Chain A
């Protein structure tokens, strides 16, 4: 189905009754400034229609941005106008209401799921209007699942619709002790499958260094870089057959930060296929972002495809939050999207699948129209 390309300058169509269009609360300050501090401002409570996604949750978000010298400037993330307070020029963007939302987006097959995910990322970047002082921060995964999504993003870039010039990326993990140029290292993966095909600035592509002299210091520095970049706008991840996110194996703390982890046997077995089937060649340790690190992202998108991930998906969304299935932590994240294909839903209840499939016309509004940077953005 051909999607329409439209300049992101044009207004999106007016919100439909069950719209899930929510303006966001983050006022982004100048590059590098810390923001998103929660202040006890008086909330304006807007009764919103029942959230179309079915997960009814109202959350109040408010944030303060430090914007030096800005007066009465409209927040670009929402339509509110900040008020100058005092001579310090502080702007408070009174965020009103953010409807927390969990989406389960089900496509027929792997290719369609990959395409949906890529379109979503594309639209998010373009609508963000990234620029010199305003980078879009993206968390990225590795493995076989996101390959299709990367291919589509590369296609959009090659056709001139999407540029990564003002995008910063943070990868989830990297093996410890594997040479950076080893064909199975995540540096090699990202170079071959993504970076070499796009126009990202090498200084903005961050991957943990599994050969650093002090591994914990490397992890701490990574957390610091994320903070300095203003936090992650969209963290894209996958799921392991044992329900792990990144290398947060079963039993990992759900509030963990970036650290060194020993890999579980399941993970080593799953990765053996990349090392000629020889278990002794598979690295046993890795540096990984923590569950807490990903939870800090403003939005999380998990890609899950294939029947072998079906049980993990069931555990992640139909059972409780449990550190044995660390992806389940995202049930408590205000903005999560699970993108899957039919096969990945095989262990879910028919009721769940039918419900979310019935919402696809809503979900598709997030990717149709597909925006393009060609129109002078």
Chain B
């Protein structure tokens, strides 16, 4: 329960002995929470003349905004692109399990699928607030089927589509109603893509460029039409070339609309992208970096065969990698930037006053010790429980 009536009478929580991420820096400050929102303690002191009702010692840990994963295809045996009867419980399972990774909000991602799958699955995954039951669902990320054949990656070729003459209607026919949709990844070189991008942007849906062979010019035009995101930079797109940087060139393009920040997702596992390439992108455009997992259903499971949409995937070992940037930058890339991408930075991805109290408690090696949603403890590490 956030805000609303009775919030002023709600208990005031004060988290002490911690460093909080605020304004791009880790500050030695206390975090105050009331009614599920971050509270301004100075205002509380001088206007309401109140002190905290409860203090919690964070043991010197880091408090960062809860992570937001805008590209996650499933996990723990659940595949979001599978048209089962009870998609909801699969989403709920993933939502609960990712709390231990510090993710407080996410966009379940569907890979290229036939229209029947979209019609069945999309209505079953509504936008939902997070809580003790699990991370919040911000909306769906539909990756495909309007993508390039050459750059389809793991997406099944049989279900790829291009836009017909009545492009947006074609999209609606494929996906069904767009109420639960938050992000759409498409290839801008496809015909009629610009009207689709414009229409989606008007409806508040974030358009992302990916799985594409577009050159820089086509990508810039797509941004002018409203695209704001790049799906897993470097992967499934033309490689950077010094005479035509392709989609990668958007990071430093001077032909973009003034004041527009282009965001780009990076899978920082050390495998999808060479760490050196990740650093080049980060140094070129640090404000746009968005960390994503692009996790597949095999997340959290052992080796073996697993499904990914309509295909099967072998999993052999797990790798993890931490980007070579500052702790504050990395934390912002996982929280603030995805919130900015989705236009939610007033309430998510930040510990500013008035924002939703979704945050994680991290030790110095950035391992999650506890996760809070709306100021409520929703997950705690074993060691911390003692």
Residues of A within 8 A of B (CB): 180-181, 187-188, 191-192, 195-196, 201-203, 205, 207
The chain A residue with its CB closest to the CB of B49 is A202
Q: Identify the closest chain A residue to B30 (Cβ).
A: A196
Q: Does chain A have a CB within 8 A of B50?
A: yes
In the complex, what residue of chain A is closest to B29 when comparing beta carbons?
A: A196
Interface size on B, residues (CB 8 A): 11
Give Cα A187–Cα B49 distance, bound, in whole angstroms.
13
Chain B binding surface, main DSSP class: helix
What is the bound-complex CA distance between A202 and B41, given in angstroms? Answer: 11
**Chain A residue contacts of B41, Cβ below 8 A:** 191, 196
Q: Which of A188, A191, A192 counts the most B-chain CB atoms under 10 A from its CB?
A: A191
A250 to B132, CA, bound (A): 63
Residues of A contacting B40 with CB < 8 Å?
Answer: 181
- A188 contacts B51, CB within 8 Å? no
- When distances are taken between beta carbons in the complex, the residues of chain B under 8 Å from A201 are 51
**With A196-B41, A202-B51 as given contacts, are A187 and B30 in contact (CB-CB < 8 Å)?**
no
Q: Does A187 contact B50, Cβ atoms closer than 8 Å?
A: no
**What is the CB-to-nearest-CB distance from B64 to chain A, in angstroms, rounded to a whole number?**
21
Asked whether B46 lies within 8 Å of A202 as measured between CB atoms, the reply is yes
Output the nearest chain B residue to A192 by Cβ-Cβ distance.
Answer: B42
Q: Tell me, yes or no, whether B45 is within 8 Å of chain A by CB.
A: yes
Q: Known pairs A188-B42, A191-B42. 12 more at Cβ < 8 A?
A: A180-B46, A181-B42, A187-B46, A191-B45, A191-B46, A196-B30, A196-B42, A196-B45, A201-B51, A202-B46, A202-B50, A203-B49
Which residues in chain B, 85-119, are within 8 Å of chain A measured between CB atoms? Answer: none
Inter-subunit contact A181/B45 (CB<8 Å): no
Min distance, Cβ B386 to any Cβ of chain A, angstroms? 26
The CA-CA distance from A196 to B51 in the complex, in Å, is: 10
Interface status of B43 (Cβ within 8 A of chain A): yes
- Residues of A within 8 Å of B46, CB to CB, are 180, 187, 191, 202, 207
User: How far is A172 from B219 in the complex, measured between Cα atoms in Å?
Assistant: 61
Interface hub of A195, A196, A205 (most chain B Cβ within 10 A):
A196
Give the distance in Å from the alpha carbon of A187 to the alpha carbon of B43 in the complex.
10
The interface residues of chain B lying within 8 Å CB-to-CB of A191 are 41-42, 45-46
User: Closest chain B residue to A188 by CB distance?
Assistant: B42
- Kindly report which residue of chain B lies nearest to residue A197, judged by CB atoms: B30
User: Considering the complex, which residues of chain B in the window 318-337 have a beta carbon less than 8 Å from any beta carbon of chain A?
Assistant: none
The interface residues of chain A lying within 8 Å CB-to-CB of B42 are: 181, 187-188, 191-192, 196
CB-nearest residue of chain B relative to A180?
B46
- Per-residue interface assignment for chain B, residues 30 to 45, with 1 indicating a CB less than 8 Å from any chain A CB and 0 otherwise: 1000000000111101
Give chain B nearest CB distance to A208 CB in angstroms. Answer: 12
Could you write out 26 A-B pairs with CB less than 8 Å apart? A180-B46, A181-B40, A181-B42, A181-B43, A187-B42, A187-B46, A188-B42, A191-B41, A191-B42, A191-B45, A192-B42, A195-B45, A196-B30, A196-B41, A196-B42, A196-B45, A201-B51, A202-B45, A202-B46, A202-B48, A202-B49, A202-B50, A202-B51, A203-B49, A205-B45, A207-B46
Q: What are the residues of chain A within 8 A of B48 when measuring CB–CB?
A: 202
Chain B residue contacts of A188, Cβ below 8 A: 42
Tell me the complex Cα distance, A202–B48, Å. Answer: 9
Closest to B43 in A: A181
Q: How far is the CB of A324 from chain B (nearest CB, A)?
A: 35
A205, closest chain B residue (CB): B45
> How far is B45's CA from A86's CA once the two chains are assembled, in angstroms?
46
Residues in A neighbouring B45, C-beta threshold 8 A: 191, 195-196, 202, 205
CB within 8 Å of A: which B189-242 residues = none
Q: Which residues of B contact A202 (CB under 8 A)?
A: 45-46, 48-51
Nearest chain A residue, comparing its CB with the CB of B32 = A196
**How many Å lie between the Cα of A180 and that of B48 in the bound state?**
14
Please, which residues of chain B bring their CB within 8 A of the CB of A203? 49
Docked complex Cα distance between A201 and B52 (Å): 11
Which residues on B sit within 8 Å (CB–CB) of A187?
42, 46
